[in-house]
Structure 1
Amino acid sequence: MSYCKEDGKDQVIFATKEDMGEPSKAIINIQEDPEDEQPGLILPNGDINWECPCLGGMATGPCGVQFREAFSCFHYSTAEPKGSDCYEAFLTMQECMSNYPELYPASKGPSSGDSPELSELAASKDESFGLDAGDVRDAKAEAEPTRAQS
C-alpha cells in the first residue's frame, strides 16, 4: 500500500510494486506561458533572432550592419563547405572591426595548432584571389614593423 509523507513544501509518495503495475492517474499541471519563453539565436521559423543576448551586442554595435550581413550570409549559405561563399562579407566585417580596436580586440590568427581544414580553407581563399603562400608571407612582412635586434 502506498503512502504520502510531507517534507516541508514537498510531498514524498512511496509506492508499492502493485501501485506501479497500474497506469498512473496523476495529473500534472504544466503552466506554459509563451511570453516567458526566450527564443534562441534561431527563431522557430528559421530566421535569425537579432535580439538574442547571445550575440552580445554585435548586431547593434558600430559594425552591426557588417556583422548582420556576414552572419546572414553564413546562416543562409548553401555552399559546401557552409559559408565558403561569404568570404567577402566576413572580410568587410573584419575591416570594420579593425577600426574599433577598443571594442573588438584583435585576436590571434590561425596558428600551427589549428586544424588542417582551417589552414586549407585559408590557403584556398588566398589562391582564389590570385595569391600564393609567398605573396601572403611578403604582404604580412611588409605590414609588420621591423624591430631592431639588441
Structure 2
Amino acid sequence: MVVETCTIGFAKKTLKKFIGLLQEENVKHLIDTRLNNTSQLAGFAKKEDLDYISQLVGIKYNHFLNLAPEAEMLEDFKKKRIPWDEYEKRYLDLLYKRKIENDLDSFLQDGKPCFLCSEDKPHHCHRRLLVEYLQQYNGDIQIIHLV
C-alpha cells in the first residue's frame, strides 16, 4: 500500500497559503523537524502557534527533536563552513545513528504526515533528506513536497 508523505517549509508563505497547502493534501499529522521552533523569526510557525493553528483545522502537531540536525552541523552549513554535500552526509549519518527508521510507524499512525522545517523549497533542506531516508525503509512511501 502506497503511503503518501508530505514535506513543507514555512518560509515565504503566508499562514493562509501554508494551511491551504496542508488542507489541499489532506494532511493529518504535522511533524516539526526543526532544532529551534520557538524563535521570533519563525513568525506564525512558532511551536505553540503551530500547535494551536493545527488543532483548529483538525491536524495533529508534534515536534520530534530527534529528526532535527545537530546545532553544530546546522551552523557549519549556514555559515558556509561546510558545503551542502558534507551537510547531507552528516545529517544522514545522524539519522542512521539515531535509528529513526524505528519510529516510522509513529510518524504514519495518525494519518497522512507532513514533515515541516523552515526552508521554502526542499532542495537544500533536511526534511527532504529525512523522507528519502525513511523511503529506503519503506519503499511504499510516495513523497509530495508542498511549495
**TM above 0.5:** no
With the length of structure 2 as denominator, give the TM-score of the two structures: 0.27
Question: Which structure: larger Rg?
Answer: 1
Structure with more strand by fraction: 2
Whichever structure has more helix as a proportion of its residues is 2
Greater relative CO (CA pairs within 8 A, separation 6+): 2
